[in-house]
Amino acid sequence: MTPTAIAPLGPTVGVLALQGAFAAHLSILRDLGVESVAVKTTEQLASIDALVIPGGESTTMSMLLVKGGMLEPLRARVDAGMPVFGTCAGMILCSSEILDGRDDQHCLGAIPLVSRRNGYGRQIDSFEADFAIEGFDTPFHGVFIRAPIVDSVGDDVVVLAEVEGQPVLCQHGPVTVASFHPELSGDARLHRRWLADAGLLPSAAEGSPATASQGVPS
Ligand code: GLN
C-alpha cells in the first residue's frame, strides 16, 4: 500500500526561529506531544495556530522580521488573536511599548504592557530565582538573562508571578509573556498552561511539578 500523507490532528505550534533560543522551546513542545515547527518564513507563519517568540536579542529579531517581510504578517496574526508565548526578548517584542530600546525597533502590541530592555541592570544582568506562580503547587525555577523589566501593565493584564515585587509572568487572553527563559528549566508547566489556556491542549494539571519529558497528562 502506498503511504499517504496524514495531516496533523492537533494544532501546529510555531517557534519564531530567526535568532535566539528557539531550539529548547521546540524540544519542550515535542516532548509535550505537540506538532511544532521552526518559523523562518511568512509561509511557515501562515501555517501555524500559535507562536512562541523566544529569548535572544529583540533588536535583532525586529530587524530580521522587517528584512524578511514578516513583521506585518505577524502583526496581522497577532491582531487576529493568535495565541503567543513571548519569553525574554520575545516579551519585549510582544509589548505595546519598549523603554530603552533602539529607535528603529518594533513591538507587536500583543499585550498592553511596557517593557524596559535590560531593566535589571548590568550588575545583576543574569540571575536565577525560584518563585510562586498562581495556580502552581510548587515554585518555578526562572532563569533571567539580560532580562527586561515589566515597567507597567494595562488594567486587564493578569500578573501571574512576581519577583521582588516586579511582575515576571503576565497574561492577556491567549498571550502570555515571561521576562525569563522558561524553556531552560526542564519544566514544561508554563508551555502546557499557555497551550491549555489558548484551548490548544486539554486542560492541564498545572499544579504538578511535571517536567517536559513527562508529556501531557491524560
Ligand atoms: N536583552 C535582550 C533584548 O533586549 C533580551 C535578553 C534575552 O532574551 N535573554 O532583547
Q: Is pLDDT at 80 greater than 70 in this prediction?
A: yes
Which contiguous run of DSSP H or E holds residue 60? helix 58-67
Check residue 119 and report its DSSP letter.
T
Q: Give the CA diameter of the chain.
A: 63
For domain 12-214, which architecture applies?
A: 3-Layer(aba) Sandwich (3.40)
Segment 140-195, tens digit of pLDDT: 999 999 999 999 999 999 999 999 999 999 999 999 999 999 999 999 999 999 99
Confidence of residue 134 (pLDDT cuts 50, 70, 90): very high
Full 3-state SS string of 155-182: CCCEEEEEECCEEEEEEECCEEEECCCH
Residues 32-77 have pLDDT tens digits of 999 999 999 999 999 999 999 999 999 999 999 999 999 999 999 9
Instruction: Indicate if ligand 1 lies below 6 Å from the C-beta of 117.
Output: yes
Q: Nearest C-alpha to atom 2 of ligand 1 is from which residue? A: 57
The domain ranges of the chain are 12-214
* Residue 190 near ligand 1, beta carbon < 6 Å: no
Concerning whether 88 is annotated as a catalytic residue, the answer is: yes
CA 204 to CA 186: how far, in whole Å? 17
3 state DSSP class of 72: helix
As a whole number of angstroms, the distance between CA 184 and CA 21 comes to: 9
- The whole-number pLDDT of residue 216 equals 35
Q: How far is the CA of 101 from the centre of ligand 1 (A)?
A: 10
From residue 51, give the alpha-carbon distance in Å to each of 58, 75, 81, 108, 182: 16, 12, 11, 13, 15
